[in-house]
């Protein structure tokens, strides 16, 4: 169902509103969502989360950034919260040119009938991102809405933000990313046919074709993972390689290959969701296939020990 809004429609009932990209639904976002629910319950207003489609970068700069939780994944994460309405705002060049003042009057008040606006500690909006919490307080006094600013959420000195999580993943620090997300970072896709080389060397792997191309992939390397395979109730422990397979002169194509422990069934065309627990090592080129096999056996033992206590 298309829930993208069209401006100019009649106002709905009074609302508690938050607007943002909500990429990842990390701990900072979760704090905002909980504030929306608390404020809505306090005043008896409907709770609304609004985001943008397409991503503003796609309109402003012509590129679609790799995201922590694209499309359906973001929607599924939001579904865990009893928000009354998750709405998409169609982002186009006209909206990009709308001043912060007009955005508040036309969208926040004029369309959503917001009586309370909940924002993050660093929220900016409107043309050239000129709108901020100070403008919201000023216009709120004029237009009849209050502003609730959610404080920064930190874990061991690191801020829970989409940018900090992206930086962590691109550095291979999946454990840090997971602590800021409040869950393991994951990739989902369908098992596709590879060249069968893993099976021939005694470590069969499933090649994953991502469900969403603009999903951010962690840095190349070997990871300890937990995985769910469609059709199986059990979560499997395993290890995953992200990279170009330099020992086999794999070229420049990035491949996602997961070896699941205690799984010997045909997984082709099944959906797999892989959760990243810890990075084990860099991907590197070995002088021989035998040297690679020896290292993979060491990797498997290490991953088995790491994952032993994780359900």
Contact 76, 110 (CB under 8 A): no
- 14 has pLDDT over 70: yes
pLDDT in tens, 214-263: 899 999 999 999 999 999 999 999 999 999 888 787 677 899 999 999 89
Residue 6 has a pLDDT of 47
Per-residue pLDDT tens for 97-137?
999 999 999 999 999 999 999 999 999 999 888 999 999 99
Judge whether 1 lies within some domain.
Answer: no
Residue 253 lies in a domain: yes
Q: What is the pLDDT of residues 148-207, one digit of tens each?
A: 999 999 999 999 999 999 999 999 999 999 999 999 999 999 999 876 666 677 788 899
Same domain, 291 and 213: yes
pTM listed for this prediction: 0.91
Structural domain tally of the chain? 2
Residues 137 and 226 in one domain: no
For residues 128 and 212, membership in a common domain is answered with no
In a domain, 140, yes or no: yes
Q: What CATH number is given to the structural domain containing 93?
A: 3.40.50.620
pLDDT-wise least confident of 17-31, 146-160, 206-220, 270-284:
206-220
Domain assignment of residue 173, yes or no: no
- Give percent of the chain above pLDDT 90: 73
Task: Tell me what pLDDT residue 63 has.
Answer: 81
pLDDT at residue 197 in the model: 67
* Residue 178 placed within a domain: no
Does 129 lie in the same domain as 43?
yes
Query: Is residue 7's pLDDT more than 80?
Result: no
In a domain, 177, yes or no: no
Say yes or no: 206 and 148 in one domain.
no
**Segments forming the whole domain that contains residue 49:** 13-155
Rounded distance, CA 53 to CA 187, Å? Answer: 22
């Amino acid at each position: 169902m298309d829930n993208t809004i069209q401006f100019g429609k009649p106002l709905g009932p009074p609302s508690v509103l938050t607007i943002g990209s909500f990429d990842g639904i990390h701990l900072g976002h979760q704090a905002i969502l909980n504030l929306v629910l608390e404020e809505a319950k306090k005043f008896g207003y409907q709770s609304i989360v609004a985001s943008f489609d397409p991503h503003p970068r796609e309109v402003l700069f012509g590129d679609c950034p790799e995201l922590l939780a694209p499309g359906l994944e973001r929607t599924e994460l939001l579904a865990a919260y009893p928000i009354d309405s998750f709405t998409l705002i169609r982002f186009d060049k006209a909206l990009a040119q709308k001043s912060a003042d007009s955005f508040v009057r036309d969208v926040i008040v004029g369309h959503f009938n917001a009586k309370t606006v909940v924002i993050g500690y660093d929220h900016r909006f409107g043309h050239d991102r000129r709108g901020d919490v100070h403008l919201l307080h000023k216009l709120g006094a004029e237009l009849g809405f209050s502003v609730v600013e959610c404080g920064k959420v930190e874990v061991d000195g690191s801020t829970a933000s989409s940018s900090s999580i992206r930086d962590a993943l691109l550095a291979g620090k999946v454990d840090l990313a997971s602590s800021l997300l409040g869950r393991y970072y994951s990739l989902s896709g369908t098992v596709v046919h590879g060249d069968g080389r893993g099976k021939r060397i005694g470590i069969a792997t499933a090649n994953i074709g991502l469900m969403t191309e603009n999903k951010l992939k962690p840095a190349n390397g070997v990871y300890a993972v937990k995985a769910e395979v469609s059709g199986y109730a059990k979560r499997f422990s395993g290890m995953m390689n992200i990279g170009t397979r330099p020992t086999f002169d794999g070229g420049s194509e990035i491949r996602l290959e997961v070896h699941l422990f205690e799984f010997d069934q045909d997984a082709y065309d099944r959906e797999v969701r892989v959760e990243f627990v810890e990075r084990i090592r860099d991907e590197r080129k070995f002088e021989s296939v035998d040297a690679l096999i020896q290292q993979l056996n060491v990797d498997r033992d290490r991953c088995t020990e790491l994952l032993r206590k994780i359900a």
